[in-house]
Amino acid sequence: MRATVLGPLLGLLLGVGVLSGRALAYDPYDPNNCNGAGWDDERMQAVSKVIARPRVSFIKSPYDDDFKAEGCPAATEACRKQSYLAAGDLVLLGQTRGDFTCVSYQSPLARKNFWMSGWLPSAVLAPVAPMRAPKRSDWIGTWAHPGSGIDIKNGGGGKLYIEAVAVLSTPSGDSHNGGFKALVKPGTDALVFTDEGSYGDGCHVKMQRIGPWLLVEDNGGCGGSGVSFLGLYRRKT
């Protein structure tokens, strides 16, 4: 099955599993565990395209199968998941481990904000370069992503005015909100700024143009619990 929901992109909470009859606490810092793409103060988020044809299966982490996938990730049948991606799908890159790269995937055309993360063989991924020296018109527009939207307008004085809002629905039926706004002077290739609204210095945002998409990443401080603006946004207007 393709793009089945495996859980939120960030903060995968598995609690306690059982391995060989003994309790084992999930360790989010185990380098063999793929937790997906995340914020990095030192670098911009990277995007790659799947080039395997017609498709490539995700590879398990040790915590999969009720903590019984201890030897994964590995190029074995036992480590292969049923979920897969197809040639041309775009993924966000996390850490690498041996011959594998941890990726996060969500269709930019999806209606719901659900991600899937897992290991893929690094050999099936081709880097996608961001747009170089985008013009102001390349940024301006109304951009949409499941659960969130961003408006970018002329702000005067060579700056852009950016305003965003997000709503995350929870299983209990309530919702968590988030947002940011700022006047930003474009850099050479990216927009990097701190919220000038409600979340202030706790909310940091980076933006790049990737093909027809607007790639947005934030540090998780731009809203309530679980709210993230991470993703590839499509231009509506």
Q: 109: pLDDT confidence band, cut at 50, 70 and 90?
A: confident
Contacts for 161-168: CB closer than 8 Å, 24+ residues apart: 162/191, 162/193, 164/222, 164/229, 166/222, 166/223, 166/227, 166/228, 166/229, 168/113, 168/223, 168/224, 168/226, 168/227
Distance in angstroms (rounded) separating the CA atoms of residues 64 and 108: 26
Q: 110: pLDDT confidence band, cut at 50, 70 and 90?
A: confident
Residue where the block lists tokens 């949409």: 144
Nearest CA to 25 among 59, 63, 57? 63
Distance in angstroms (rounded) separating the CA atoms of residues 234 and 159: 22
Give the pLDDT confidence score for residue 25 in this predicted structure: 65
Lowest-confidence range among 4-13, 56-65, 137-146?
Answer: 4-13
Instruction: Read off the pLDDT of each residue in 190-196 and give the average, rounded to a whole number.
Output: 98
- Among 22-26, 65-69, 124-128, name the most confident range: 124-128
Give the pLDDT confidence score for residue 208 in this predicted structure: 98
Backbone angles phi, psi at 43, to 5 degrees: -145, 160
